[in-house]
């Protein structure tokens, strides 16, 4: 009996010993699963790095304030595409006149474009026309982008000048108001640069033989108006200023 119990105990001991490695193997297998997964991820990344196509990711749009764009442009910082659109330079203004063209500036009359230059003013690069007014012996620089707003224009065509000559042939329309008020209206018409409006001033202030003489102020206003009109009329008819003035006065005497 004793030998049987001893044999039975040895058999149980062997059975437990044989079962231990299997349990240990199961534990190692459970622990190795996360490691295997990590290795699998590394292998996938390595495969993609070697040339396997990947799904491209869309970049997250960046919102940029206009003030930030201006500061970045000032500092010369490299800007993303969103910034470039904000600080893009405006397109250059188209030139209307070329060097040598005769033009009319409202407050100074007929002048000639002697050059087109550029200068940097307060950090901004500007193009400008250089205009010479021979009658006044004055040179004026007008920014190209402000030319239209300032009233700078080309010489009138024959149709416009024909309308001005028709106005000269009309009847004078003198208002019965104080001279100071009429003088302001005449001066505004002269400085408008419109040949028809200037012709109205010449017509109203002209005096034929037998009519009351002009006052000193009226004479000055009349000479300024006919001088402006004669300068432009001479260019339209392609004659000198003296002949243009004589032709205008002949029209006035015939009325």
**Considering the domain boundaries, does residue 184 fall inside one?**
yes
Residue 245 lies in a domain: yes
Q: Would 110 be classed as within a structural domain?
A: yes
pTM of the complete model: 0.63
Q: Is residue 64 part of a domain?
A: no
In a domain, 49, yes or no: no
Rounded CA-CA distance 200/165 in Å is 10
Query: What confidence tens digit (pLDDT) does each residue in 54-113 have?
Result: 555 655 555 555 555 555 555 555 555 544 444 445 566 688 899 999 999 999 999 999
Q: Which residues fall within 8 angstroms of residue 234, CB to CB, at 6 or more apart?
A: 240, 241, 243, 244
CATH of the domain at 211: 1.20.58.1290
pLDDT tens for 104-140 read 999 999 999 999 999 888 878 889 999 999 888 899 9
Q: Are residues 178 and 217 in the same domain?
A: yes
Q: Domain containing 107: what range?
A: 102-154
Distance CA(44)–CA(36), nearest Å, equals: 12
Average pLDDT of the residues of the chain: 78
Distances (CA, A) of 69 to 45, 87, 228: 38, 6, 50
Residues 178 and 237 in one domain: yes
**Domain C-terminal end among 133, 154, 175:** 154
Residue 21 lies in a domain: no
Q: Is residue 61 part of a domain?
A: no
Tell me the C-alpha distance between 77 and 50, whole Å. Answer: 35
On the question of pLDDT at 232 being above 80, the answer is yes
Q: What is the pLDDT of residue 123?
A: 79
Find the mean pLDDT for residues 232-249: 95
Q: Are residues 136 and 176 in the same domain?
A: no
- Residue 139 belongs to a domain with what CATH number? 2.40.10.170
pLDDT tens, residue by residue, 189-210: 999 999 999 999 999 999 887 7
Domain boundary at 128, 154, 180, which?
154
Residue with tokens 């188209």: 94
Last residue of a domain, which of 123, 139, 154?
A: 154
């Amino acid at each position: 009996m004793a030998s049987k119990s001893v044999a039975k105990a040895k058999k149980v001991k062997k059975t437990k010993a044989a079962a231990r490695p299997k349990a240990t193997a199961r534990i190692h297998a459970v622990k190795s699963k996360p490691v295997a997964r990590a290795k699998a991820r590394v292998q996938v990344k390595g495969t993609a790095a070697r040339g396997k196509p990947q799904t491209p990711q869309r970049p997250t749009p960046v919102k940029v304030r206009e003030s930030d764009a201006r500061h970045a442009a000032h500092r010369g910082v490299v800007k993303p595409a969103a910034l470039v659109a904000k600080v893009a330079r405006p397109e250059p203004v188209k030139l209307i006149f070329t060097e040598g063209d005769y033009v009319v500036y409202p407050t100074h009359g007929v002048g000639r474009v002697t050059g087109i230059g550029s200068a940097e003013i307060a950090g901004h690069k500007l193009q400008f026309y250089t205009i010479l007014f021979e009658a006044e012996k004055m040179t004026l620089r007008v920014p190209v982008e402000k030319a239209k707003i300032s009233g700078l224009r080309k010489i009138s065509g024959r149709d416009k000048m024909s309308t001005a000559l028709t106005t000269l042939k009309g009847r004078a329309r003198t208002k019965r108001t104080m001279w100071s008020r009429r003088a302001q209206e005449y001066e505004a018409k002269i400085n408008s640069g419109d040949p028809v409006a200037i012709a109205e001033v010449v017509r109203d202030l002209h005096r034929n033989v037998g009519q009351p003489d002009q006052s000193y102020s009226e004479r000055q206003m009349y000479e300024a108006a006919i001088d402006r009109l004669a300068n432009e009329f001479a260019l339209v008819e392609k004659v000198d200023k003296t002949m243009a003035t004589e032709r205008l006065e002949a029209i006035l005497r015939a009325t």
